[in-house]
Structure 1
Amino acid sequence: MSSPATLPGAGAPRTPPKVRRPEPAPRVATPASALAAFRAESRSPVVEPDGEEWIVTFFWRDADADEVLLFVNRLTDERDLDRSLMERVPGTEEWQLSYRMPGDWRASYAMVPKRPGRPAPWRDLAEQASLRAALDRGLPDPLNPQRMRNRVGNPVSVVELPDAPAQAWLAPRGPLRGELTRHDLDGRRPWVYRPAEFTAGGPVLVALDGEMWVGELSLPAQIDNLIADGLIQAPLVLLVPGGDRLRRWAELNGSGGMPDWIADVLLPWAVTGHDAGTDAADRLVAGQSLGGAVALLTAAERPDAVGAFLAQSASLWQEGLADRAAAMPATTRGYLEVGRQEWVLLGPNRELHRRLDASGVRHDYAEFNGGHDYACWRGGIADGLRALLGVRAG
């Protein structure tokens, strides 16, 4: 097996296509009532009913800013950033921007201010990575207590409307009941979580981008909660770190060799050292974005080792990847979900769902009103685990 530094594709990271939103985000004029509520209660965003939908108004206080960009996951179009500039309330330090959204919407967001005499952080950037870095380092909303950290570890705020799917297993109910350890394996440093209820030979969950799931978005805590509520079998959890941007692109793209590493290195190691089960039917790979694509490919191309996938917003823009994923055996089980605001990925994931249905692959399919966003994935992963690791009758 190749080392991480020499995996196929390691020298040629690729990026998804930058395509404009098919329709502009539903920006509307800010109601006077929203500004009044903001001033009276110092809260943001202000959410008000508007027929069957809701007007969501974001506010920001900044006397020194020349401009303020509101970066909302997948409402902001990176090909049309001017449309996401907040409006200054004349004669004040207040900035505002409103959207009309359905009641099941959830998203992370941040503000990016431009300071006098300095260039706007989001303009005149030569390549996509620089733009993404600028947007990922925006500032959280100080008037919104709901926060999380994005992939680069920066705090961002979260907005969710009244009908957004519940994330009932997210909050820890106390210290972890099992044991979380970290190990060195073939140039990587995976974590292993062994729930207190796990028994030798039991099911295995491989979670990609593991560094996202061992902090405040604790996947082990969610698993503890699901086990305590009698909803899933206790799995041995292998959390594989994604690493920095270049390494992640090299290893998680469609030619990066990760499915074979999971099957030939990670899982045998877990069997010999951590009592993992050997039945492929009880082994599940979960991932988001590029990791979601790897979860699909592992199930499709290594059915000898893995029998199930949990793919969230899988990066099916990669050439030929959907065809490879669609060729998985009919014995595979899966959970596939994508956000309705993901205009590049929604169509390909819908089409993959159709093809898997036609070939008899048993899987659940879900669409959520959100974007390419851990604010949504952190709840959806629990739904996928319930579907794939649900307690069996008898």
Structure 2
Amino acid sequence: MPFRTIEVSLPEFAPAGVSFVTVKSSALKRRADLSLYVPPSSPMGPLPLVILLHGVYGSHWAWLFKGGAHRVLDRLIAEENLPPMMLAMPSDGLWGDGSGYAQHAEADYHRWIVEEVPTAATLVDPRVARAPRFIAGLSMGGYGAMRLGALHPEKFAAISAHSSCTDIAHMQGFVEETSAQFVLTEKEPLSVIECLKKNVSLLPPLRFDCGSDDILIEHNRTLHQQLDREGIPHVYEEFSGGHTWEYWHAHLVDSLRFFGKTLG
């Protein structure tokens, strides 16, 4: 077994298609949680996996019960014939106000997402083992999605992000913990642009967006300009809105449609 223990919620007590999973994580050296959603309409055969990363203050349930991610997916399947996908929504590991999905001295939040979350999803539904894998997120989770997707391009078929920090330093505007408390042991760059440049010839399709009233809008515009200067293909979009769940609920469709196009 890849985990010493795994606990999965019983379907008769959970919302339809939703599973809550707790595993003993070797990367984090403690138990860790994720929520999974499989649309009831999913056919037999390979099932693409979408890893959705939450922002600061949140946990594994945020994309479901603040973002309505399962309802967004169901609507796109019904109205636009989007291929069914599994949504895997892990906690970030619950360090401080947010781990940044990075490797700390006391726990590897990077490896938890890239290696252990897909493994846990596969144990619950083996169909995802044979299908493409995508990664997306909001705010701190957008940072995690772009950074981890860039560092592991062989693992992901596409990357999408909303309202993102583009460097772990940008979390200082949101979290209580000081930069000195982030005892990071990452050997890889901490800025998104440097990670994207590192594997530029291997990158999967990339998109990101930000609201015009978002506190992080200038960071996103700067990343877009840097990518243009480097000649790195990407899609960047701006919409009306701020750093809110109303915005992320509305624009999760852009990530899922983007992923769906890679399956066409």
Please report the TM-score for the alignment, with normalisation by the length of structure 2.
0.70
Higher relative contact order (CA 8 A, sep 6+): 2
Pairs within 5 Å for 1:1-394: 179-185=17-23, 186=25, 187-198=31-42, 199-209=44-54, 210-215=60-65, 217-242=67-92, 246-249=95-98, 251-252=99-100, 254-256=102-104, 257-278=108-129, 282-319=132-169, 320-327=190-197, 328-330=199-201, 331-343=203-215, 345-357=216-228, 359=230, 361-390=232-261, 392-393=263-264
Deviation of 1:294 after TM superposition, in Å, equals: 0.3
Q: Which is richer in strand?
A: 1
Asked whether the 8 Å contact 1:333–1:361 carries over to 2, the reply is: no
Change (3 A) 1:216 1:271: closer
Task: State the distance in 2 between where 1:348 and 1:276 align.
Answer: 38
Conservation of the 8 A alpha-carbon contact between 2:147 and 2:195: yes
How far apart, CA to CA, are the structure 2 residues paired with 1:263 and 1:299?
A: 9
Residue 352 of structure 1, CA deviation? 1.8
Measure how far apart 1:240 and its partner are. 1.1
Deviations along 1:199-222, whole A, 9 cap, x unmatched?
Answer: 442210111223222225321111
- Deviation string, structure 1 residues 93-138 (Cα, Å, up to 9, x no partner): xxxxxxxxxxxxxxxxxxxxxxxxxxxxxxxxxxxxxxxxxxxxxx
- Alpha-carbon displacement from aligned partner over 1:277-316 (angstroms, at most 9, x marks no partner): 3468x21112111111000111111223223222111112
Regions of 4+ moved over 4 Å: 253-256, 357-362
Structure 1 residues 193 and 217 mapped into 2: Cα distance closer, same or farther (>3 Å)? same
Structure 1 unmatched runs, 5+: 1-175
Kindly indicate whether the alpha-carbon contact (under 8 Å) linking 2:143 and 2:167 is maintained by their aligned counterparts in 1. Answer: no
Residues 326, 216 of structure 1: CA spacing in aligned structure 2 closer, same or farther, 3 A cutoff? closer
Cα deviations by residue, 1:192-246 (Å, 9 ceiling, x for unpaired): 11112334422101112232222253211110111111342211111113476x5
CA distance in structure 2 between the aligned counterparts of 1:206 and 1:248, rounded to whole angstroms? 20
> TM-score, normalised to structure 1's length?
0.49
AA aligned opposite 2:148: T
Counterpart CA distance in 1 for 2:194 and 2:158 is: 15
Aligned to 2:4: none
| Preserved CA contact (<8 Å) 2:92 2:101 | no
The one-letter code of the counterpart of 1:190 is L
Is contact 2:210–2:238 with CA below 8 Å preserved after alignment?
A: yes
Which structure carries more helix by proportion? 2
Query: Contact between 1:259 and 1:302, CA under 8 Å: does it hold in 2?
Result: no
Q: Matches of 1:279 and 1:301 in 2, distance apart?
A: 21
- Tell me the secondary structure at the aligned position of residue 277 of structure 1: helix
Q: Take 2:200 and 2:16, find their aligned partners in 1: how far apart are those partners?
A: 34
Q: Percent identity over the alignment?
A: 21
**Higher Rg:** 1
**What's the Cα RMSD here?**
2.9
Q: Give the paired residue count.
A: 215
- 1:239, 1:357 → 2: CA distance? 31
